[in-house]
A = this chain, B = another copy of it.
Amino acid sequence: MQTPPTPLSSLTPHKLRLRRLGIDTYQEPVLYMHRDCRVCHSEGFEAQSRVELALGDRTIVATLNVVSGDFLAPDEAGLSEAAWRLLGAQEGDMVSPRHPAPIESLGHVRAKVYGRHLTQAAITAVIEDVTAGRYSDLQLAAFVTACAGDRLDQEETVSLTRAMVAAGERIDWGEGLVMDKHCVGGLPGNRTTMVIVPIVAACGLRMPKTSSRAITSPAGTADTMETLAPVDLDVAQIRRVVERTGGCVVWGGAVRLSPADDILIRVERPLDLDSQGQLVASILSKKVAAGSTHVLIDMPVGPTAKVRSAEAADLLGRLLGQVGQTLGLRMRVVQTDGLAPVGRGIGPALEARDVLAVLRNLATAPADLAQRSLLLAGEVLEFGGAAPAGGGLALASAVLADGRAWRKFQDICAAQGGLREPPVAAHQQAVHALRSGSVLAIDNRRLARIAKLAGAPGAACAGIDLHVRPGEFVERGQPLFTLHAATPGELAYALEYAASQAETVHVLEDA
């Protein structure tokens, strides 16, 4: 029963052929290996094992799923879309799956679970491992949970912000002010950025704005801007746009300003845990990395907004101010009305239409969007010294009224790659009031859901055009809103849902 020893050279390395399986796991790198795969057995890999793959100069760690089906051969290693992209793989590339080194920084996560204070070095070690993709989704969830609530003190929040900045790219604008703004927890349709940037730039201040795409909403500022001009610019392109025009509105995700934050956010979102420290680090790390010197925070406060009370707003504002200052930023926080959606359109193209109406001073321009934009632009102008204290709103209003803002916006779009017309939906249908009365309330959450069922933001033309506002009187049969969709199917589904949610626009019959 004794077996002669097998020479080692015949055993290693164990190569598998990479295959793109086209499975979108929402950014978690997943490796699929067949249960009859020799490497699986010899390495003792099992489902949920963490496995390291190296290709060229790239190394990733993926979570293993073991396949017994016939869509994968025993000598193949299937990759999820995220793993394929991170590894820079090509069909037919060969890899040797192996055990990753133990993640030392998990010890710091455990320390935080026990309530210990984490040093800058500890937090930096965690964030470096997170950025390198060494944490599994479960481990990310543990880190996020251990730091959630009020468990990061101000010093740790500063450390987390610094670590996030260090893990990404950083833009250096040289001498001079770099203005920025950020809205904490969006309201539907709140596209003030696209009005503020041209006003501020037209007044001679520099304002290079990186924005995000929609995560759960029907449109992010980057999605809306993209219906008017390209937004996928790299750092060199951004620099050219800003040098030429003084401003830009681009997608921040293309720039990798805070890759660790991008990774943490995808775990934070489904957990829906409030976390002051992580929120502050998420916002400020991107501002520091973007090279901003002056940051205005727009904080909408209202019962359905992210910040629900003036007290919570004060607390968060203070933390943002203090951490930002420690990191060398000048900070200003403005609390705004967070009660109702802003503008009339919901969805990229419809929101872009509202922005264009404001910039072009059209009679159809939504007054609330114009007013919010001017208020915030005025604050930025005073903050940057382009207007005297108390004179910002007047200057902003003048720049908008005389067409300078609109011309600047056209310049910015041209520099980003060319101004274009937002698309118009081929399929539209109105939803009508079932009774006469006053509009008591509009449910932002349901409106967002209907707009997404209609196809937003994937279909840029899709969304909702609101025709009424809270407090207005409507007649039975009067259109409340119009659905826009790219296909009849999506229109029908959105209508079906809207019909089942009659109180989305709540009309109270007059007594």
Contact = CB atoms under 8 A, between A and B. Distances in A.
Interface of A: 1-3, 5-6, 8, 11-12, 20-26, 32, 35, 38, 41-44, 46-48, 50, 65-71, 80-81, 106, 110, 113-115, 136-139, 141-142, 144-146, 148-151, 266-267, 270-274, 425-429, 449, 452-453, 455, 488-493, 495-496, 499
The 7 tightest CB contacts between A and B, nearest first, are A22-B69, A26-B47, A26-B48, A141-B141, A22-B68, A42-B493, A145-B145
Nearest to A42: B493
A138 B427 contact: no
Nearest to A270: B138
Taken together, the copies of this chain in the complex come to 2
17 contacts: A2-B429, A3-B491, A8-B499, A20-B69, A23-B65, A23-B67, A41-B455, A43-B453, A71-B71, A110-B149, A113-B149, A113-B273, A115-B149, A136-B270, A141-B141, A142-B142, A142-B271
A3 B270 contact: no
Contact of A44 (B68, B71, B148, B452): B452
Given A2-B428, A272-B106, A488-B3, A449 B493 contact: no
A141 B142 CA distance: 6
Nearest to A70: B22
A34 to B, nearest CB: 9
Given A69-B22, A453-B44, A138 B141 contact: yes
Contacts of A425: 1
Nearest to A427: B3
B495 A21 contact: no
A199 B490 CA distance: 70
A9 to B, nearest CB: 11
A20 B274 CA distance: 38
